[in-house]
Amino acid sequence: MTALKERQHDDIKYYEARNQLFKLSLMADYDQLVCLPSLTSIDKHWYQIETARKVLRQFGGRALLADEVGLGKTIEAGLIVSEYLARGMVKSILILTPASLVSQWQLELASKFGISSITTDDDSRQQNAEDFWKNNPRIIASLNTAKSAKHHPLVTSRNWDLVVVDEAHHLKNRNTLNWKLVNALNKRFILMLTATPVQNSLVELFNLLTLLKPGLLKTEADFKKEYVSSKNGRIPKNPEKLRSLMREVMIRNTRSLVDVKLPKRFATTITVTPGESEGKIYQDLSNFLRDNSEQLDKFSRTNLLMRAGSSINALTESLKNLSQKFPSDELKTLIRRASQIKQVEKALALVELLKKSSQKTIVFTTHKATSAYLAKTFTEAGIQFAEFLGNMSLKQKDAAIEAFRDNIPVLLASETGGEGRNIQFANAIVNYDLPWNPMKIEQRIGRIHRIGQTQDVFIFNFCLKGSIEEYILRILHDKINMFELVVGEIETILGNVDDEFDFGEIVMDIWLKNQSVPELNTAFDKLADDLLKAKDKYQETQELDEQIFGEEFEA
């Protein structure tokens, strides 16, 4: 018996030794990513895995990820971060991004890669900035916050194992605080992400690559002499030599090379005329917000108007909460009137659409009160549906997706509905309420309009006539054709307006400052013109990058 135990003990030791040897061999050559088996919430596309391996094995963890929009640079960065963490090669991680993307990065890392982090949006940063920057191992920071006079010394005094910069074209100018901050960081590994590495001139490329590998392109004067042949700095000289150098630090996958062929998507705006009581309460609420814009904080104003566009139930709930902090007879009247409205035209229009449809359809809502109201409405109308809500257990969510796939035509989903799940068997989306952030609209669409979808995708955007959402859709749908763009392109277009452009804040500001229809039309038309100019600039940049890079930097 003792001999048997000894043999078993030896077998276990032998297995452990072989297992350790296998892990060491993986660490030596990066032929396989050890993190992959644990990542069950992402679609693992071959070119993304190859990109991660190339950055780890050939580039030494310092790379410019410049894939075309829609191919998943964030996933590639997440794979690299996960691999370094799995191998115990990094502890301190700093992710720098525009302010509008901070929370999105936190959510993506947590939900898709199981990586927790703290952000500059969190309260702890406000309480003690020094402790915030010094003691947190993984930080996602707004680039504007990190470069500020208060935070710059704290960010740059620490050693970072890995720095990730999203929308890295914001570092194109060496004279800006953005560039100077990233240059001053003590960093071992660095990833820079941008779909548009060159927007105006080749010197921008020099500035980006200098952050990755100082000295690779020598000085700016040497670079211009060797590689720039035009006064505007756009036409390369010695293009093959330049590309050879860039292959040491840059990967640019294109849709044609990775053979990504997404089906078409078609968007329809369904503008519903509200009932008399509904329309009057929306107008009176807007006037109340205009009259009290100084007394109410920005969150309260935005929240009320967004909930008014979502459902009367969501609005009533929010009005009651506000009345406890901001006592007002006008608020009490609005609450009483809202509570008396039992049926809304938008829900009736949705029921009519769903009864006619034969498509698997996801109905997105933002607010719990709206979801509850629609669940009641669907039940009364005899529409079969499953629910996928943020507060459900994993088992309940799995059951909802399974039921939706197998025999139920409608999935009533919250903002996070279907995150990280394969739901390409559905091909229709209803935005029952509309996020004011176009990137959030894109995230909803991206649940089904993604690699693996074989059917054309249909998007139905609901709004009330005369509401702020009607104006938003006029801009996004009618003016800049957002719904015909590749997922991710709207993000770049908005970034071309201004580094910290916030679409939601702008539309709210326009709504509060303009009361008559002609005034609103003029102000929203001006915003549409600004976005069209930004879209034209994006398309010019695409053409320039195609001319410079071609298709020679794939993984």
Residues 384, 476 within the same domain: yes
| Domain assignment present for 278 | yes
Q: Is the pLDDT of residue 15 over 80?
A: no
Backbone angles phi, psi at 412, to 5 degrees: -90, 110
Cα dist from 154 to 122, 131, 158, 322, whole Å: 17, 9, 7, 38
The structure tokens listed for 292 are 């009290």
CA dist., res. 74 & res. 85, Å (int)? 16
Report the range out of 126-130, 170-174, 226-230 with the highest average pLDDT: 170-174
What pLDDT score does 180 carry?
A: 96
pLDDT attached to residue 102: 87
Last residue of a domain, one of 238, 259, 280: 259
- CATH code where residue 203 lies: 3.40.50.10810
Residue 376 lies inside a defined structural domain of this protein: yes
Indicate if 85 and 232 belong to the same structural domain: yes
Residue indicated by tokens 């917000």: 289
Q: Are residues 420 and 533 in the same domain?
A: yes
Number of domains composing the chain = 2
Residue 516 structure tokens: 């008559």
**Band (40; pLDDT cuts 50, 70, 90):** confident
Specify if 309 maps to a domain.
no
Is residue 187 domain-resident? yes
For residues 40 and 185, membership in a common domain is answered with: yes
pLDDT in tens, 276-324: 999 999 999 999 999 998 888 888 999 999 999 999 999 999 999 999 8
In a shared domain, residues 110 and 197:
yes
> Which domain CATH number covers 451?
3.40.50.300
Same domain (yes/no): 36, 170: yes
Indicate whether 539 pLDDT > 90.
Answer: no
Helix (H) or strand (E) holding 442: helix 438-446
What are 160's strand-pairing partners? 187
Q: How far is CA 444 from CA 11, 165, 434, in A?
A: 51, 24, 10
Q: Do 122 and 96 fall within a single domain?
A: yes
Residue 278 to residue 171: CA distance in whole angstroms: 48
Structure tokens at 190: 């660095």
In this structure, are 201 and 239 located in the same domain? yes
| Predicted confidence (pLDDT) at residue 271 exceeds the cutoff of 90 | yes
pLDDT at 398: 83
**pLDDT of 83 strictly over 90:** yes
The pLDDT, as a whole number, for residue 483 is 85
Task: Please give the pLDDT value at position 499.
Answer: 65
**pLDDT, position 111:** 87
277 in the same domain as 199:
no
Q: What string of H, E and C letters represents the secondary structure of 120-152?
A: CCCHHHHHCHHHHHHHCCEEEEEHHHHHCCCCH
pLDDT tens per residue across span 2-12:
555 555 556 56
**What is the bridge-based pairing of β-strands 410-413 and 385-388?**
parallel
Beta-sheet strand order (sheet of 138-142):
118-119, 138-142, 93-97, 159-165, 186-193, 62-65, 250-251
Q: Of 88, 91, 83, give the one whose Cα is nearest residue 50.
A: 83
On the question of pLDDT at 514 being above 80, the answer is yes
Cβ pair 344, 467 in contact under 8 A: no
Q: Which domain holds residue 446?
A: 265-288+344-545
C-alpha–C-alpha distance, residues 349 and 363, integer Å: 13
Calpha distance 184→178 (Å, rounded): 10
Question: Does 314 fall in a domain?
Answer: no
pLDDT at 367 > cutoff 90: yes
Q: Domain check: are 106 and 212 in the same one?
A: yes
pLDDT digits (tens, 9 = 90+) for 516-537: 999 999 999 999 999 999 899 8
* pLDDT for the residue 419: 58
276 and 185 together in one domain: no
Q: Residue 22 pLDDT > 70, yes or no?
A: no
pTM, to two decimals: 0.71
pLDDT 10s digits, 87-96: 999 999 999 9
